[in-house]
Amino acid sequence: MKRALVTGANQGIGLAIAKGLVEKGHEVLIGSRDLAAGKKAARQIGATALELDVADPASITRAVTQAGLVDVLINNAGILGAGRLLDDPQDFAVSMAVMVHGPYLLMHHLTPHMVAQGYGRVVNVSSGWGAFSDGVAGPVAYGVAKAALNALTVAAARTLPNTVKVNAMCPGWVRTRMGGMGASRSPEEGADTAIWLATLPDAGPTGGFFRDRKPIDW
């Protein structure tokens, strides 16, 4: 049985990814900065809650110790701040902490076991707004952080052996707190490509960027 950690999984796309992985027979840890919310979500889907604030390196250290060995890491936690890019240093710092530094530290802690056992899957939940081909869109630090997460995906995939696959994906516009209720996709639809990447066969891709299970431009 594979053991998966999904960050920011107490609601939204992360919860749908966690549910999909439970249904595929994984043992799933729901990372949540609010443990009560994590426990409530975990109960709904047959997972286990793990207190994890990805913006806090000490919380990451505590969580990885508690989590033990992990075969599949989904860096899903994200925030979409307010205010304009160059006017809001705090939003920039938090965006980079949640969507770049946190994923980096989790990969730092968790990939050595994946390398040693010859199996690992890392999925970075990114966004089309992080694509240079789309102009690093979005009014705030979000697009810059997602572009950096994409760069981290490419560089980590190059650094790791092919047995540990690292891919980024865009869920599309999804009905969650972040996406709003007018969005075109359900959380399950948004989660599909991440679940696919999390369960890739040995011959599957690494170092790619995907939407709807198809490669998209960086």
Contact residues for ligand NDP, defined by CB under 6 A: 7-8, 10-14, 33-34, 37, 52-55, 76-79, 98, 125, 127, 170-171, 173-174, 176-179, 183
Least gap, CB of 164 to ligand NDP (angstroms): 21
- Which CB atom, from 36 or from 155, has the smaller least distance to ligand NDP? 36
Give the count of beta carbons closer than 10 Å to the beta carbon of residue 59. Answer: 16
CA separation, residue 51 to residues 4, 19, 61, 186 (Å): 15, 18, 11, 26
State the catalytic residue, choosing from 142, 153, 192, 194: 142
Q: Tokens 């960027």 identify what position? A: 209
Q: Respond yes or no: is residue 104 known to be catalytic.
A: no
CB 162, min distance to ligand NDP, A: 26
To ligand NDP, the closest distance from the beta carbon of 202 in angstroms equals: 27
Instruction: Classify residue 213 as exposed, middle or buried by CB count within 10 Å of its CB (0-12, 13-18, 19+).
Output: exposed
Indicate the residue among 35 and 200 with the shorter CB distance to ligand NDP.
35
Measured from the CB atom, is 136 or 183 closer to ligand NDP? 183
The residue whose two tokens read 């050595």 is 112
Indicate which residues carry an active-site annotation.
Answer: 142
